[in-house]
Chain A
Amino acid sequence: MINFQYLRTSSAKSAIALLLKDKNAKFLAGGTNLIDLMKRGVTAPEKLIDINHVPLKQIEQVGSKIHIGALATNTAVAEHALIKEKLPLLSWALQAGASAQLRNVATVGGNMMQRTRCGYFYDTEMPCNKRQPGSGCGAMEGFNRMHAIFGTSEKCIAVHPSDMCVALAALDAEVVLANHKGERKIAFRDFHRLAGDTPQLDNNLKTDEMIIRLEIPVSNLAKNYHYLKVRDRASYAFALVSVAAAFELNNNKITDVRLAMGGVAHKPWRLTASEDFLKGKEASLSNFEKAAELAMKGAKGFGENNFKLKLAPNTIIEALNLAKSKA
């Protein structure tokens, strides 16, 4: 038997204290990905710290920000009146992910921490630098239809599978992290990492840290928004490409705009060049097309995923079109 210790705690402080004692421990929240990984032999934590009873499920407005506790479920966030009203892009993105059953137990923190769905990562008989650094990348010259076109490294071309995180990157969310010494706050866009030389690391969470909450500024992006997810079936499939688009319009002029893509990189892929271009411009198809073109700078296909070089800009254009038509 692969034995592991199971612990349960009901406060963030004690959870962090338990984590500090054993660097091979892992937090267990919804378990929708972690348990799969354990069953497949991809990961074998010596200690599971069940944090489901830690009171971090709040969804509330604090000043000009909306706070979402790390243990709020995906469903609770997606269906919360405050989120639907003020951050509908986030609600839409969440509902595009997984299945209703999974969303009911999957948490916000767990969603951020989920691993790639690359088939080579999950098959322990295959090479994978993310699972076993130095073993090679199976996908690079293999089945890479689902894989990254941006920010890839020679070591890994996996994508981060989350929909929620794409919206959070677009919405300039911040993440509050804590260890035994105290809290720190980082931009959500800096939470996940590119693969680089360390594909085994998905994010910048330190081994002694815990995700506490998200803080998302309330903005005027609740009117013209869309989360467009292109996938192989209508539900319960990871994105081939997804786009979170939102903008603020003033006399058909774009005064603020956010664009991020999923299914294209090792992290949610914010499209700053496209945003910069669109700011102050008219919300027109030709400008959308130009923004999409700018977004593709540096994109690179690996064979089976070459179609994303066409699908990605098309999806950006359509997401912007649909965001505009919401008015």
Chain B
Amino acid sequence: MEKRMLKEDTDRVDGILKVTGRAKYFAEYELPGLTYGVLVTSTITKGKITALDTKAAENAPGVIAVVSHLNKPSAAAYEQEGGPQMKIFYTDKIFYNGQPIAMVVANTFERATHAASLVKATYAKEEFNTDFAKALKDPKAKKLQGQADYKRGIENAYKTAEVKLEERYFLPIETHNPMELHGMIADWRPNNQVTVYAKTQGVKSTQGTIANVFKIPPENIQVNSEFVGGGFGMALRTWPLEIATVMASKHIGKPVKVVITRAQMFTMVGNRPAAIQTIGLGADKDGKLTGITHRAYGETSTYENFTEGVVNMAKFMYQCDNVNTSYAIVPVDLGVPIWMRGPGEATGAFALESAIDEMAHALDMDPLDFRIKNDPETDQQKNKPFSSKNIKEAYKIGAEKIGWSNRKNKPGSLVEGQWQTGYGVSVGVFNANRGKASVKGILKADGSLLLQSATSDIGPGTGTGMTLIAHKLMKIPVDKITFELGDSSLPPAPSQGGSATLSTVGSAVNDVCEALKSTISELAIHSGMDPTANFVEVLKKNNLPAIEVTKESHSGKERDNYSMYSFSIHFVQVKVHALTGVVKVSKIVSVGDSGTIVSPKTARSQMLGGAVGGIGMALTEEAVIDHRYGRYINNNFADYHVPVNADVPEIDVNFINKPDPYINPMGAKGMGEIALIGFSAAVANAVFNATGKRIRSLPITPDKVLG
């Protein structure tokens, strides 16, 4: 094929399957003899189950079994001492409201649902606390170190700076709530052979967890998860409800399907934990930062600790000789959190990037100029050069596209009737990861290439990116390349998280393609052909239907020499209504600085999704708990507000698209997280610019704007 025929971009390779309903998600698999499990949940927040009356449920029509701690379905690891505190169906302890305490399995979903309502638990209640802010104030409450304290230069140097500020920022619990509900189909067969259809960000991780809990060899467990209807981090672990599904299948000897309810999505599959952060910033009068202090508290559960990188960004994002951070986690009686898109960094960036804006205002500087003035040349935390960083160029592109020159530094300057206009900017940054992955490539005499890896696609378009990498190297038409994933029997790859898949698995695709090319070239020479001969002819000449190569790929020493990050800049224009406090995001310009863009269309979609998620984080999302009961109040899509189309303006996505010379053969860095990180601060900063009101508590709802 001629080089000019190479495609720079392609539609999502599985797009047609998805929009025509032919993509099969876990809950859609029909197995012979399939049964349906429905979870019964605790209605108290803390204590013990003293009695569990399952009689009525067991006698209800269609019911096959009720599994709970009363019958402890066999799970070898849970039968031993130690391990997790909250061993599902092996404990009578209640750690939070909504904890699964039993599963009713019946021959239809409706019968299981009804029978589940007949299970009656009696409890011994204990005092509890689900209020994170209250726990922080309570001197008796546990505060555990979440990350080692960090100090560079003088601690709390901001306190003695010429210009200083110290502010507190609050983030509520947010939930991932992808459209697809969580669950699993588990089929435990004789001889301990298990097949599961899962909603997971890592088939190998699910396989490993099941192997560990049931103490059977991983090879016995087949995990299928070809299509995932959104993950955002919530499917990065195998949740107790999934273990329960496998237990139930083993117990009854039939396949069991569990799909949890929307309300259960708030309590069984983690969330972005609430956080309270304090930022101290000091600067000299010329606008050079002289001190950064970032102290954060994050929420965790009482039965398991969860930590994330809330204070990472403060350590290197700005040139400053004096930086100190601390991060503690505070247990409350709620389900354990999990990473949610942009994880801790998005939480931290809201605080840090708001504070940076506040400091620029205190200095009477344009916040963009202030950021440029304090942009570091090297990573002061790691004391290494950045592998690539084009932040200043990104600032320039974004500023021009949003019309930054229309912004007035004095808040509340742009008024039209009751609407006040403001502009805001923020930076996002996330570690540019690269892990270890294997890919198998099968090059066939029919001109096609099959690539296989046990990676996942929770939506970013993994198969599309991998196909384009292979397409460019092999010069095989896109429609002749198939990338298979979501199957634990394929060559191993890490879970899809931390924006690492393209970098990690893409590198293995690269290496496999290079190996296939050299094998073909050697075969050609061996059979007296031109070494650049077409592989179809080479294979035919050698009577080979196909050749196969498997490669494991990982990063080398370059990671020791460079600091590797992906960056993003978010510019937003907002309109704020002076009388009603309504905030409308009226314009968005996002600029991604994440190395080479391998798949422009899906990369753009990532940025669009990040911006929409960012609007939610900034303006609408908050999971509300009534702390008197420990129960969620708004556990449905009518009351937990994710942005709707009418909330989303046109999003102008731009990429620097310059290869990172060190990260991987493609020069491409991840971008799933940076699409969201920092966005909420850009909105908060724009609201301030519009109104002069600084809102340090998300989401920015009309009541806060008016207050």
Contacts and interface: CB of A to CB of B under 8 A. Distances in A.
B632 to A, nearest CB: 8
Contacts of B628: 141-142
B190 interface: no
B58 to A, nearest CB: 15
Contacts of A126: 626, 629, 631
Given A119-B634, A311-B580, A315-B580, A232 B620 contact: yes
B645 interface: yes
A232 B707 contact: no
A272 B111 CA distance: 52
B23 to A, nearest CB: 23
A145 B647 contact: no
Nearest to B582: A230
Interface in A287-327: 307, 310-311, 314-315, 317-318, 321
Contacts of A310: 706
Nearest to A241: B580
Nearest to B584: A234
Interface stretch (B346-354, B524-532, B635-643): B635-643
A314 B579 contact: yes
Interface in A140-191: 141-143, 145
A41 interface: yes
A240 interface: yes
Interface string B6-46: 00000000000000000000000000000000000001000
A1 B111 CA distance: 7
A233 B638 contact: no
A240 B117 contact: no
A117 B638 contact: yes
Interface residues of B, number: 36
Interface string B559-590: 00000000000000000010111101000000
Contacts of B641: 232-233, 237
Interface in A98-115: none
A323 to B, nearest CB: 14
Contacts of B490: none
Contacts of A125: 43, 629, 631
Contacts of B577: 318
B28 to A, nearest CB: 22
Nearest to A304: B703
Interface string B576-610: 01011110100000000000000000000000000
Nearest to A321: B418
A242 to B, nearest CB: 11
Contact of A119 (B114, B633, B702, B703): B633
Contacts of A238: 638
Contact of B114 (A2, A141, A311): A2
A62 B599 CA distance: 62
A204 interface: no
Contacts of A311: 580-581, 702-703, 706
A311 B701 CA distance: 12
A4 interface: no
A123 interface: yes
Most buried by B among A120, A126, A232, A321: A232
B644 interface: yes
A235 interface: yes
A236 interface: yes
Nearest to A125: B43
Contacts of B703: 145, 240, 307, 311
A30 interface: no
A133 to B, nearest CB: 20
B639 to A, nearest CB: 7
A41 B117 contact: yes
B630 to A, nearest CB: 11
A138 interface: yes
B235 interface: no
Interface string A56-68: 0000000000000
B633 A234 contact: no
A230 B643 CA distance: 15
Contact of B646 (A117, A119, A234, A321): A234
B161 interface: no
A234 B647 contact: yes
A289 to B, nearest CB: 11
Contact of A315 (B60, B110, B579, B644): B579
Contacts, number: 84
B619 interface: yes
User: In which size bucket is the chain A interface?
Assistant: 20 to 34
B661 interface: no
A321 B419 CA distance: 13
Contacts of A240: 702-703
A123 B631 contact: yes
A230 B626 contact: no
A253 to B, nearest CB: 24
Most buried by B among A1, A41, A233, A235: A233
B61 A143 contact: no
B701 A232 contact: yes
A314 B706 contact: yes
Interface string A242-282: 00000000000000000000000000000000000000000
Interface string B263-303: 00000000000000000000000000000000000000000
Nearest to A240: B702
A321 B626 CA distance: 38
B624 interface: yes
B350 to A, nearest CB: 19
Nearest to A142: B626
B687 to A, nearest CB: 15
A143 B619 contact: no
A123 B41 CA distance: 13
Nearest to B637: A236
Nearest to B42: A125
A314 B579 CA distance: 5
A46 to B, nearest CB: 16
A240 B43 CA distance: 29
B596 to A, nearest CB: 36
Nearest to A141: B628
Nearest to A311: B706
Nearest to A234: B646
Interface in A34-72: 41
Nearest to A145: B703
Contacts of B114: 1-2
Contact of B647 (A119, A233, A321): A233
A246 to B, nearest CB: 19
A317 B631 CA distance: 38
A307 to B, nearest CB: 4
B623 to A, nearest CB: 11
Interface in B673-707: 701-703, 706-707
A235 B644 contact: yes
Most buried by A among B117, B645, B701: B701
Interface in B369-425: 418
A233 B634 contact: no
A83 to B, nearest CB: 22
A228 B579 CA distance: 12
A143 B644 contact: no
Nearest to B110: A1
A317 B646 CA distance: 24
25 contacts: A1-B60, A1-B110, A119-B633, A123-B633, A126-B629, A145-B703, A228-B580, A230-B580, A230-B581, A230-B702, A232-B619, A233-B620, A233-B643, A233-B647, A235-B644, A235-B645, A235-B646, A235-B647, A237-B638, A311-B581, A311-B702, A311-B706, A314-B706, A315-B580, A318-B418
Given A142-B628, A317-B579, 6 more contacts: A145-B703, A232-B619, A234-B646, A311-B580, A311-B702, A321-B418
- Nearest 9 A-B pairs (CB), nearest first? A234-B646, A307-B703, A314-B579, A119-B633, A235-B646, A230-B580, A318-B579, A143-B633, A235-B644
Interface of A: 1-2, 41, 117, 119-120, 123, 125-126, 138, 141-143, 145, 228, 230, 232-238, 240, 307, 310-311, 314-315, 317-318, 321
